[in-house]
């Protein structure tokens, strides 16, 4: 299983939101590249990089930071935020993203998204199916989608999708713990899907509880920045016996 430390970008800095609220923003590091190198030195191999400004505006803002992280680290980076068309996806991949997280475009423009999925291949795409309960959210979590969370996943799996990140918005940035049963329900319903847990991680046990369950990975942000998780120790435990490729 993979630990994905998160860097959320706003104003060229590493920040975290509370339940997706842009009015509840905390800055943790003004140098995202430095932060990425800290993660790598602690044994991380992957990075979850989100352009929060782009998620609101609908156009990528921080591609230069993606390029810098890829040139100065060996991290595998999945990048998301504000990706609303095919050109944005190709631009992110050209800037160095190993995978692209796609939410609003995938949900609002399904036919175009699934054509893109076939074009770039399912290994390059992660569906961002972010939810508040069973309500699917779009546009940086500001709007409700016209389809349900489960309908979205049904369509995605049917079209050959392989990876999904599902952020539990009600828990994101709260350090209140992870809805374990909710994520295992996703895995039970779609056993071939590589499910990435996001939202609510507060301590190492919130991550380690998924080890051996078939969950592909867990994203952690605030708990790392608040030093509630020892990155080197948890990477050591995860690497002892990995159940993910």
Parse the chain into domains and list their residue ranges. Answer: 2-240
- How do 21-29 and 13-18 pair as beta strands? antiparallel
Catalogue the long-range contacts made by 153-159 (C-beta closer than 8 Å, 24 or more residues apart). 153/127, 153/129, 153/186, 153/189, 153/190, 153/193, 155/110, 155/114, 156/106, 156/127, 156/129, 157/190, 157/192, 157/193, 159/114, 159/117
Tokens of 48: 């979850």
What is the model's pLDDT at position 134? 67
- pLDDT by residue, tens only, the chain of 245 residues: 999 999 999 999 999 887 667 777 899 999 999 999 999 999 999 999 999 888 777 778 899 999 999 999 999 999 998 898 999 999 999 999 999 999 889 988 999 999 999 999 999 999 998 877 667 866 555 666 668 889 999 999 999 999 999 887 655 555 667 888 889 999 999 999 999 998 889 999 999 999 999 999 999 998 999 999 999 999 999 987 544 44
CA–CA distance, 156 with 179 (Å, rounded to integer): 22
> Which residues form the catalytic set?
8, 130
pLDDT at res. 175: 66
Residue 244: per-residue pLDDT: 44
Can you give the pLDDT at residue 54?
A: 84
Q: Does domain 2-240 have CATH number 3.20.20.70?
A: yes
pLDDT of residue 133: 63
């Amino acid at each position: 299983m993979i630990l994905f430390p998160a860097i959320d970008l706003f104003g060229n800095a590493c920040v975290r939101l509370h339940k997706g609220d842009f009015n509840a923003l905390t800055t943790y590091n003004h140098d995202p590249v430095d932060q990425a190198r800290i993660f790598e030195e602690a044994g991380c191999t992957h990075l979850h990089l989100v352009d929060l400004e782009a998620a609101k505006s609908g156009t990528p803002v921080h591609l230069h930071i993606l390029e810098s992280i890829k040139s100065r680290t060996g991290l595998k980076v999945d990048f998301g935020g504000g990706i609303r068309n095919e050109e944005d996806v190709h631009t992110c991949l050209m800037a160095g993203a190993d995978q692209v997280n796609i939410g609003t475009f995938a949900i609002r423009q399904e036919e175009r998204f699934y054509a893109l999925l076939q074009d770039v291949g399912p290994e390059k795409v992660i569906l961002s199916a972010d939810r508040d309960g069973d309500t699917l959210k779009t546009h940086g979590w500001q709007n409700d989608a016209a389809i349900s969370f489960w309908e979205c996943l049904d369509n995605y799996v049917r079209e050959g999708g392989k990876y999904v990140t599902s952020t539990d918005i009600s828990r994101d940035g709260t350090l209140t713990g992870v809805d374990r049963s909710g994520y295992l329900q996703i895995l039970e319903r779609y056993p071939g899907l590589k499910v990435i847990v996001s939202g609510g991680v507060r301590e190492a046990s919130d991550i380690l509880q998924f080890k051996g369950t078939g969950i592909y990975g867990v994203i952690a942000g605030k708990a790392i920045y608040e030093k509630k998780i020892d990155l080197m120790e948890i990477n050591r435990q995860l690497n002892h016996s990995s159940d993910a490729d």
